[in-house]
């Protein structure tokens, strides 16, 4: 047999068209993408180093500055999902052997602790069960004890459905010479966050939640304190791809006259991200926060009318974008979710990480955040509760 003949035939699946059903994405993300954003994602590709692309990236930067309420120059989007931003933050500001403090009240703190451990940080964990939260006093005591260079907190804990208070923590971090890193992947656009006013040193989010863009890009911003730490390190960050010395140049944030090739950014993903930020700018942050709160409140009433119990008892601590329900007694949550998917073409999900088996989650984010969608979700749940027989637990 000659070296040039193929021995692996074309796979049959590749000869069939792609199947991607239209589905109600009422889980914790990705969320449904509005036609306007889908449309820009289908525009012709331009070069990632063309002047038009740089203009689009400059616009994205301004859009993120608005969404984060920050004037930080070092504001970019990652080429990658929320995890890319988590790794970028940790890899760039922490050096091996340095102390990091992580607040864990769901899966996201666990993930960041693991990321920091993998790059050789000395990780200290503050742990609460899902749905728990930390007082500023507890946080200050732990910071004083472990003297971390970085403290991590999840604003919108999507695995537990908790929106953690942030006020005052940035000041505590400053007092103890520690950087404050906040995850708003699940909360940005749905619950208020003010990066500059709240003294948050590093903030990131994801494209696929309340921003309603497709998954695959992740805005992140560093203030001057964070820049000072990350650009005065002794060692290079472990990741070439996520090194902010390169990314800041690619995004035109380093003051150099020219941008050099580092990696090929996701051109269509950036088009879509720009459109999603432009929708948020048109609508306005306050309006978006108000809408999420209203629709969430409407959903809470409907859930309680169905006899369901909300997992987070304190109403003001509930994450408006992702609502967690305690699993109703005697039901198998997997069966309920499978029923809803099968009969209503609708995604809701179970817990994640430590909240598995504790909660079911309904996400109504951005474009999906409408009372009519809450009604559909409630109707599907009511139907599932009626038809999924109670197990004899
Ligand atoms: N943080 C939070 C709070 C999230 O909800 C998610 C996504 N579920 C992530 C981080 C990770 O984002 P991604 O899946 O885009 O990597």
Residue in the block written with tokens 């997997």:
334
Least Cα distance to 220 among 285, 273, 286 occurs for 273
User: pLDDT per residue over 143-177, tens digit each?
Assistant: 999 999 999 999 999 999 999 999 999 999 999 99
CA of 43 to the centre of ligand 1 (A): 27
Q: Give the number of the atom of ligand 1 that is nearest the alpha carbon of residue 155.
A: 3
Task: Find the farthest-apart pair of alpha carbons in the chain and give their distance in angstroms, rounded.
Answer: 74
**Does one domain contain both 55 and 115?**
yes
Among 258, 282, 306, the domain-final residue is 282
Q: What local confidence, expressed as pLDDT, does residue 3 receive?
A: 82
Q: Which residues is 325 bridged to in the sheet?
A: 310, 360
Length of the chain: 393
Q: How far is the CA of 246 from the centre of ligand 1 (A)?
A: 24
Nearest protein Cα to ligand 1, atom 12? 82
Q: Cα of 185 to ligand 1 centre, how many Å?
A: 6
Angle between helices 82-93 and 107-118 (to 10 degrees): 50
Residue 187 CA: nearest ligand 1 atom is: 3
pLDDT of the chain along its 393 residues, tens only?
678 899 999 999 999 999 999 999 999 999 999 999 999 999 999 999 999 999 999 999 999 999 999 999 999 999 999 999 999 999 999 999 999 999 999 999 999 999 999 999 999 999 999 999 999 999 999 999 999 999 999 999 999 999 999 999 999 999 999 999 999 999 999 999 999 999 999 999 999 999 999 999 999 999 999 999 999 999 999 999 999 999 999 999 999 999 999 999 999 999 999 999 999 999 999 999 999 999 999 999 999 999 999 999 999 999 999 999 999 999 999 999 999 999 999 999 999 999 999 999 999 999 999 999 999 999 999 999 999 977 644
Each residue's pLDDT tens digit, 219-234:
999 999 999 999 999 9
- Determine the residue of 79, 83, 162 to mutate for testing ligand 1's pocket, defined as the one with the most ligand atoms within 8 A of the Cβ atom: 83
DSSP 245-313: HHHHHHTT-S--SSPPP-S---HHHHHHHHHHHHHHHHH-HHHHHHHHHHHHHHHHHHHHHTT--BS--
Whether residue 261 sits in one domain with residue 152: yes
Torsion sign, CA atoms 292, 64, 179, 168:
negative
**Final residue before a domain boundary, out of 282, 312, 337:** 282
Q: What is the Å distance from ligand 1's center to 24 Cα?
A: 19
Which one of 231, 263, 282 terminates a domain?
A: 282
Report which of 61, 79, 51 is spatially closest to residue 266, judged by C-alpha positions.
79
| 89 belongs to a structural domain | yes
H-helix segments, 152-206: 169-175
Same domain, yes or no: 100 and 235: yes
Instruction: Write the residue with the smallest CA distance to atom 9 of ligand 1.
Output: 82
Tell which one of 108, 164, 363 to mutate to probe ligand 1, the residue whose CB is within 8 A of the most ligand atoms: 108
* Residue 18 lies inside a defined structural domain of this protein: no
Closest by CA position to 250, among listed 51, 76, 45: 76
The conformational region for residue 212 under phi > 0 = left, psi -120 to 50 = alpha, else beta, is left
Query: Total domain count for the chain?
Result: 2
pLDDT for the residue 343? 98
Domain residue limits at 219 = 35-282
Residues near ligand 1 (Cβ within 6 A)? 28-29, 81-83, 108, 154, 156, 158, 183, 185-186, 206, 215
Q: Tell how far the Cα of 360 is from the centroid of ligand 1, in angstroms.
A: 17
Q: How far is CA 7 from the centre of its chain?
A: 43
Burial class (CB in 10 A: 0-12, 13-18, 19+), 40: middle
In a domain, 11, yes or no: no
ipTM above 0.95, yes or no: yes
Q: Which residues contact 108 (CB under 8 A, 6 or more apart)?
A: 154, 157, 158, 159, 183, 185
- Give the DSSP H/E element, type plus range, for residue 100: strand 99-104
| Residue 345 falls inside a structural domain | yes
Would residue 393 count as lying in a domain? no
């Amino acid at each position: 047999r000659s070296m040039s003949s193929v021995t692996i035939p074309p796979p049959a699946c590749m000869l069939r068209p792609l199947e991607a059903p239209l589905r109600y994405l009422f889980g914790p993300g990705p969320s449904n993408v509005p036609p306007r954003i889908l449309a820009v994602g289908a525009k012709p590709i331009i070069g990632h180093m063309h002047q038009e692309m740089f203009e689009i990236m400059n616009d994205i930067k301004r859009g993120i500055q608005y969404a984060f309420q920050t004037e930080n120059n070092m504001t970019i989007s990652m080429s990658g999902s929320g995890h890319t931003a988590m790794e970028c933050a940790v890899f760039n500001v922490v050096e091996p052997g340095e102390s990091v403090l992580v607040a864990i009240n769901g899966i996201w703190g666990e993930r960041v602790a693991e990321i920091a451990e993998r790059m050789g940080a000395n990780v200290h964990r503050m742990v609460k069960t899902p749905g728990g939260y930390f007082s500023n006093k507890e946080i200050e005591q732990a910071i004083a004890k472990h003297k971390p260079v970085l403290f991590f907190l999840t604003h919108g804990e999507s695995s537990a459905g908790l929106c953690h208070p942030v006020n005052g923590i940035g000041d505590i971090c400053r007092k103890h010479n520690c950087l404050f890193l906040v995850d708003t992947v699940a909360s940005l656009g749905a619950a208020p966050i003010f990066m500059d006013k709240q003294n948050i040193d590093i903030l990131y989010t994801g494209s696929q939640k309340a921003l309603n863009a497709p998954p695959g890009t992740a805005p992140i911003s560093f203030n001057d304190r964070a820049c000072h730490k990350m650009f005065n390190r002794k060692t290079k960050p472990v990741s070439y791809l996520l090194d902010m010395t390169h990314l800041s140049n690619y995004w035109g944030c380093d003051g150099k006259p020219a941008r050099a090739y580092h990696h090929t950014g996701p051109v269509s993903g950036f088009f879509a991200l720009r459109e999603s930020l432009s929708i948020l700018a048109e609508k306005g942050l306050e309006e978006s926060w108000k809408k999420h709160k209203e629709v969430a409140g409407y959903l809470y009433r409907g859930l309680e009318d169905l006899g369901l119990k909300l997992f987070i008892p304190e109403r003001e601590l509930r994450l408006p974008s992702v609502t967690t329900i305690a699993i109703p007694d005697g039901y198998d949550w997997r069966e309920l979710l499978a029923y809803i998917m099968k009969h209503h073409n609708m995604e809701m999900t179970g817990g994640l990480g430590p909240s598995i088996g504790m909660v079911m989650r309904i996400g109504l984010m951005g474009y999906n955040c409408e009372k009519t969608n809450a009604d559909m979700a409630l109707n599907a749940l009511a139907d599932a509760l009626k038809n999924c027989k109670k197990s004899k637990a």
